[in-house]
Chains A and B, each alone.
Chain A
């Protein structure tokens, strides 16, 4: 069965530290990849997405992610985190092509940034 793994469940960083959150998936075909962020008490919001083309994707708020097909990975990065980045981050994978409506979400990584 398809799966999405986020190995870091909790990450604590100081402001200005660099961030990298891991995401690996198990499906071998064409995929669409997403990162969502959930700020405390809020709903999920789309950070960035990858469909095809340049494997380095830039999103909102200075986040970026790199798709490495050979590693089945889509890691999220930010060079310098801020206190306001404290949130939970979810990776999601959807198989490419028509007729497939469902995403699979990872279990999330809770990021706490210390001021």
Chain B
């Protein structure tokens, strides 16, 4: 969707290096989420944000940190990338705190840690 973009689309990085993925939205939605998608696991929530500087952990947050200094940007950082973090990362946004209307997803970032 045009209202949400992720960058980069693809990245290959070495074990132990820091990596930051960016999610940018133009919808002025309050809620933003980072998921990782792995075969056999579906989508798992890493972190989410319910406002500027308001973030919380999801089910697989170890090894990840996030920041949200502006409504439109939600950054996901792998402080020291490991091979287990090779995955496809999706950002999602929602205008409802209850999420009742579903999410809008970005196009994903395919990250390979070698």
Residue numbers of A with Cβ under 8 A of B are 6, 9, 32, 34, 36, 42-46, 49, 51, 90, 94, 96-103, 105-108
Contact = CB atoms under 8 A, between A and B. Distances in A.
Interface residues of B, number: 28
Given A34-B102, A45-B105, A101-B33, 11 more contacts: A43-B105, A44-B43, A44-B92, A44-B105, A49-B100, A90-B43, A100-B98, A101-B98, A102-B58, A103-B99, A108-B42
Contacts of A105: 35, 42-44
Contacts of A45: 105
> What is the interface of chain A mostly: helix, strand, loop, or mixed?
loop
Contacts, number: 65
8 contacts: A43-B106, A43-B108, A46-B102, A51-B100, A94-B100, A98-B97, A100-B99, A101-B97
Given A32-B99, A43-B90, A101-B31, A90 B105 contact: no
A98 B98 contact: yes
